[in-house]
């Protein structure tokens, strides 16, 4: 019987589409009995997938973080139309449960009779299909299923397999996204004719395992289990063995590379590397380059033991050189820190000395200017000017001067004030805005329009 006839029989038995029929038959290596058993084993998941396929992407998105109570959509009331739509599904689910119980009872009654009447091959097929149907209604924890699958690979092929995460594929995608890594996917179909060869020569190849473990996070599963089966159904996988590479960048999970069917380790690596180069970040490229160097070094060590000893000696010398270099750099850092500390201390000392010198100079100038001040004209004297001085600290001082005296006497008065902390400064007025610098010191107060009264500001120079 050719594959087209098997496909037609499967469609007539299950009333499913041609694509779904091809999926189950390919997974069972076109064994009609096993394919039918797998279809009814996954009947609840298939119905759920059909009901949500119109609203989901071909590749599922990574699991989004839970919404807070303030952002959760409000649960709307179920209307009559929604109940009418759900009723056939509820009835179908109840019918499946009834069928399972009937088969469970009939299986115990006919096992002993069938083993005596029917051929052994048919009996084994019917027993396997019945057991799958009886177990199809049981929920299997995805992490436990992943752990069992990983242990099965190690025991069956007596080799190191990729470090598959023991969790659901959705949680694996979340972990890959959080760690900014690609997620390597392997879907295992035990009934396919190429699966055993692929596992022995490719999946458990030491170089290939080293590559995927050091470059990606890995997840795999047996498609006979609910979680891997649902994932493969959403990807519409039609050929096995199947590997894929998922990228979780930009808060979205997308497939960037895939391979269906038998392939060698070099074929898989050649398929994965372009996707890594195109979609990976710089640290992924650096890590891939490191893995390539490590792989080349290990191959050279396996080919020539003498070269391996030489390489180990080179590594030891390189390690010693790096240690010496690190010690030298540490000494240089310590010396630089000591120099910086000494320079800072000198700068602080210079600043301190400058302050002391400034204070001494101010004190000497104040004493000299105070001693040289003329007697202040009494209030009400003619031809006088009352000038109010505002200092930088906000305080004010006022004194009367003769209008025909030069501006220098005003500067002398300011120099004698205790509130003044600047050696160099300028006097200025705001209305009008005029700065009375050294060029105006010999002009009289009346010539500068500061009589009979004026308000002036002390403007310290920046060099103080």
pLDDT confidence of residue 37: 76
Same domain, 268 and 234: yes
For residue 69, being part of any structural domain is answered with: no
Q: Are 425 and 394 in contact (CB under 8 A)?
A: no
In a domain, residue 70? The reply is: no
Low-confidence ranges of the chain (pLDDT < 70): 1, 41-139, 249-252, 281-291, 462-464
What does the mean pLDDT of the chain come to? 78
Does 293 share its domain with 336?
no
Residue 182 shares a structural domain with residue 299: yes
Tell whether 288 and 175 lie within a shared domain.
yes
> 324 and 424: one domain?
no
**pTM assigned to the model:** 0.39
Q: What is the pLDDT of residue 275?
A: 86
Q: What is the pLDDT of residue 457?
A: 93
Do 364 and 252 reside in the same domain of the chain? no
Half-sphere exposure of 344 (CA within 13 A, CB side): 6
pLDDT of amino acid 39: 77
* 72 domain residue, yes or no: no
Which of 254, 283, 303 delimits the end of a domain? 303
The pLDDT of residue 251 is: 54
The Cα-based distances of 432 to 63, 363, 390, 449, 454 in angstroms read 72, 33, 16, 11, 11
Q: How far apart are CA 407 and CA 446, in angstroms?
A: 9
Domain count of the fold of the chain: 4
Domain membership flag for residue 378: no
What is the pLDDT at residue 96?
A: 54
CA-to-CA dists, residue 354 to 360, 366, 418, 462, 463, angstroms: 10, 18, 19, 15, 12
Same domain, 334 and 259: no
The residue among 107, 135, 163 that closes a domain is 135
Residue 77 resides in a domain: no
CATH number, domain of 269, equals 3.40.30.10
Angle at the Cα of 201 (from 197 to 206), degrees rounded to 5? 150
Q: Which of 416, 372, 378, 423 is nearest to 397 (CA)?
A: 416
Q: Burial of 345 by CB count in 10 Å (0-12 exposed, 13-18 middle, 19+ buried)?
A: exposed
Look at residue 149 in the predicted model and tell me its pLDDT: 92
pLDDT score at 462: 66
> What is the structure's pLDDT at 368?
86
Long-range contacts of 4-11, Cβ-Cβ distance < 8 Å, separation of 24 or more: 6/30, 6/32, 10/35, 10/36, 10/39
Range of the domain at 419: 384-460
Provide the 10 A C-beta neighbour count for residue 153. 21
| 67 belongs to a structural domain | no
Give how far Cα 153 sits from Cα of 91, 156, 164, 168, 171, Å: 40, 5, 11, 17, 21
Sorted by sequence, the CB contacts under 8 Å of residue 343 that are 6+ apart come out as: none
The pLDDT assigned to 304 comes to 82
């Amino acid at each position: 019987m050719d594959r087209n006839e098997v496909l037609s029989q499967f469609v007539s038995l299950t009333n499913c589409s041609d694509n779904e029929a091809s999926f189950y038959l390919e997974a069972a290596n076109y064994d009609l009995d096993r394919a039918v058993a797998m279809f009814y084993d996954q009947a609840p998941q298939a119905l759920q997938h059909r009901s949500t396929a119109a609203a989901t992407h071909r590749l599922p998105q990574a699991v989004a973080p839970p919404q807070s109570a303030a952002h959760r959509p409000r649960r709307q009331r179920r209307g009559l139309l929604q109940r009418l739509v759900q009723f056939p599904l509820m009835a179908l689910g109840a019918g499946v449960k009834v069928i399972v119980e009937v088969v469970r009872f009939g299986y115990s009654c006919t096992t002993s009779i069938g083993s005596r009447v029917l051929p052994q091959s048919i009996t084994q097929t019917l027993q396997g299909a019945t057991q799958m149907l009886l177990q199809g209604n049981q929920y299997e924890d995805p992490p436990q299923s992943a752990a069992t699958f990983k242990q099965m690979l190690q025991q069956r092929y007596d080799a190191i397999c990729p470090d598959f995460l023991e969790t659901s594929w959705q949680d694996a995608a979340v972990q890959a996204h959080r760690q900014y890594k690609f997620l390597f996917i392997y879907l295992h179909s035990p009934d396919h004719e190429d699966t055993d060869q692929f596992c022995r020569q490719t999946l458990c190849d030491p170089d290939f395992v080293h590559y995927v473990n050091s470059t990606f996070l890995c997840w795999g599963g047996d498609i006979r289990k609910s979680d891997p089966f649902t994932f493969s159904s959403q990807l519409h996988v039609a050929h096995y063995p199947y590997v894929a590479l998922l990228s979780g960048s930009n808060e979205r999970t997308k497939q960037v590379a895939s391979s269906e069917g038998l392939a060698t380790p070099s074929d898989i690596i050649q398929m994965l590397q372009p996707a890594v180069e195109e979609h990976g970040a710089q640290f992924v490229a650096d890590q891939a380059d490191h893995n390539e160097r490590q792989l080349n070094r290990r191959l050279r060590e396996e080919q020539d033991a003498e070269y391996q000893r030489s390489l180990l000696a080179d590594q030891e010398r390189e390690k010693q050189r790096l240690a010496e270099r690190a010690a030298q750099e540490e000494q240089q850092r310590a010396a630089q820190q000591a120099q910086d500390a000494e320079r800072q201390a000198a700068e602080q000392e210079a600043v301190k000395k400058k302050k002391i010198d400034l204070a001494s100079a101010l004190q000497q100038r104040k004493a000299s200017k105070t001693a040289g001040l003329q007697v202040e004209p009494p209030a009400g004297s003619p031809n006088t000017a009352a000038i109010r001085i505002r200092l930088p600290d906000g305080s004010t001082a006022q004194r009367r001067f003769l209008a025909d005296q030069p501006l220098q006497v005003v500067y002398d008065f300011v120099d004698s004030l205790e509130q003044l902390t600047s050696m160099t400064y300028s006097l200025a007025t705001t209305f009008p805005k005029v700065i009375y610098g050294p060029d105006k010191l010999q002009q009289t107060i009346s010539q500068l329009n500061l009589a009979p009264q004026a308000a002036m500001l002390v403007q310290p120079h920046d060099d103080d």
